[in-house]
Homo-oligomer: A and B are copies of this chain.
Amino acid sequence: MAMTGVLRPGHAQIRVLDLEEALHFYRNVLGLVETGKDATGRHYFKGWDERDHHSVIIRQADRAGIDFFGFRVLDVATLNQLEKDLNAYGVKTERIPAGELLETGERVRFQAPTGHFFELYAEKTHVGNGSGLVNPAPWNPKTAEHGIAPIRMDHCLLYGPNIQANKDLFTKVLGFRVVEYVMAPDGEHTAAFFMSCSHKAHDIAFVEHPEPGKLHHISYRLESWERVLRAADIIGMNKVPVDISPTRHGVTRGTTIYAWDPSGNRFETFCGSYEPYPDWEPIKWTFDEFGYGLDHTTGKLHESFLTIVS
């Protein structure tokens, strides 16, 4: 196969402070499709064009943030091999039994040097996008126009210490590569890595930060810049607190909005970007120009963006 190993971001489990408020937000404002609720009270969601049963799980907790982020791998053989590779690299793994997450096979969990928990899994039930697999319509008015209605959960950006070690783990063991990176003010250390296991510009990103295990944002993909405006309008109609209003990123070239869910978990609605391949050399951002990397329109180093995490 030309696509092997780790295929894509598969799920994020997010902690919310008030479940009812969160359910309204994820259902009607962000406009994800709700696909289930389990015995522990977790609610399951997906973007309208995802085939898998879910990509976002929310659970009530007393502090916001992310429990774990999962990647779908090619198949069970790959899962087993990657577990061996992780162990050989010195990373301890834990097997979570099939069914612990609804409609999901066995998961291999590990903690990365930045303190975040990651999971690999090879099986999750396909529920489709509602258009079926025979002569499908291009989109479904019921799901694609309810709330912001992203296509899919696309990637996340995580804050924690030791991102160089995360980068090594993800490149040496999991088959990721660095697509873009940002230099620290000292010009020697790397402040951020944007990494891909595909020809997306990022499947995951890490920013160096003293506290471990922090969530900067979960990103949701939209079809077009006009859908970014539509998202902005829905954000405004619902008075969702906004971090950065519509702009272009220099880094990855995506167009974007950053805002917070009612619990203070930042999310991004984004579109655009480009499609890098493994043979492409990574792009470097120097700190003095990183304002344009973050917000290409203004060049502004948004303090809130750089410092607030959950």
Contact = CB atoms under 8 A, between A and B. Distances in A.
Interface of A: 1-8, 49, 51, 72, 74, 126, 133-139, 141, 145, 151, 174-177, 197-200, 223-226, 229, 232-237, 239, 242, 245-248, 250, 253, 255, 257, 272, 274, 277-286, 289, 292-293, 295-300
B245 A134 contact: no
B278 A74 contact: yes
Nearest to A154: B275
A289 B135 contact: yes
A210 to B, nearest CB: 26
A63 B75 CA distance: 47
A233 B248 contact: yes
Judged by DSSP, the binding face of A is loop
Nearest to A124: B279
A175 B5 CA distance: 13
Contact of A175 (B1, B133, B198, B282): B1
7 contacts: A3-B278, A135-B293, A137-B296, A229-B248, A236-B297, A239-B299, A242-B298
Given A2-B7, A229-B255, 4 more contacts: A1-B5, A2-B5, A137-B236, A145-B145
Nearest to A242: B298
Nearest to A273: B138
A256 to B, nearest CB: 11
B226 A278 contact: no
Contacts of A245: 245-247, 295, 297-298
A58 to B, nearest CB: 23
Contacts of A7: 2, 277-279
Given A2-B4, A2-B198, A7-B277, A285 B236 contact: no
Given A126-B281, A289-B135, A242 B4 contact: no
A296 B233 contact: yes
A281 B133 contact: yes
Contacts of A279: 7, 72, 74, 126
Contacts of A4: 1-5
